[in-house]
Amino acid sequence: MATLQKTIADKFLAKLAESKAVDVQSIAQLRSLLADGKKPKADELVKIFSVPAGGQIK
């Protein structure tokens, strides 16, 4: 049986991808961060959401 945490994480990532509010690369990083019940830290999330210099914006 999937744990509630995993169910929520899976639905969260699927809905996020559907909304296109977050880029694919960031979602992949989030998936890795939330895998296996890991507990993400705020600073790790800040890094993921911050587009690196030279990334999307020219």
Partner 1 sequence: MIKLESVHIEEVRGIRKLDLDLRKEKFAISGPNGSGKSGVIDAIEFGLTGHIGRLTGRGTKGLSVSEHGPHVDKTKFPDAAFVELKIFLTEIGKSVTITRKIKSPNKPKIDPADNDVLAVLAEIADHPEITLSRREILRFILVEPTKRSDEIQTILKLDEIGETRSALNTAQNKLQTAQKIATAQVQSSQNALQLHLQISTLHPEDVLEAVNQRRKTLGLTEIAELKPDTKLDTGLSTVGKTPDFNKQSAVSDLKALSEAAKGFQALAKAESAAIVDALKKLECDPALLAALQRRSFVEKGLDLVDGPECPLCDKPWTDEQHLRDHLKAKLAKSEEARKLQQALLNNGTALAQEATRVVGLLRLVQKIAEGQGESEFTILLTGWIANMEALKVKLLTVDGLTGLKDRLINGWMEMPKALPKHLEHLTEKIDAIPAQTATLNAQTFLTTAQIRLGDYREARRKNKVAEIAWASAKAAYEVYCSVLENELNTLYDEVQEDFSKFYRAINEDDESKFTAKLTPSEGKLDLEVNFYERGLFPPGAYHSEGHQDGMGVCLYLALMKRLFGNRFTLALLDDVVMSVDAGHRYQFCKLLKTHFPNTQFIITTHDRLWAEQMKSAGLVTAKTSIAFHGWTIDTGPLVESNVEIWDEITAALAKGKVEVAAAALRHHLEYVSRFLADQLGATPQFRADGNYELGELLPSVLARMKSLYGKAADAAQSWGNNDEKESVAKRKASLSTAAGAKNVEEWAVNKAVHYNEWANFGRKDFEPVVAAFKELLGCFRCETCESWLHVTPRGSPESLRCACNAINLNLKSKAK
- Round to whole Å and give the CA distance between 3 and 15: 18
Q: Contacts with partner 1 in 24-43 (CB under 8 A)?
A: 26, 30, 34, 37, 39-43
Give the shortest CB-47-to-partner 1 separation in angstroms. 9
Q: Are 27 and 17 in contact (CB under 8 A)?
A: yes
Say which residues have a Cβ less than 8 Å from residue 40's Cβ, sequence separation at least 6: 30, 33, 34
- Interface ranges with partner 1 (CB under 8 A): 1, 3-5, 7-9, 11-12, 15-16, 19, 21-23, 26, 30, 34, 37, 39-46, 49-51, 53, 55-58
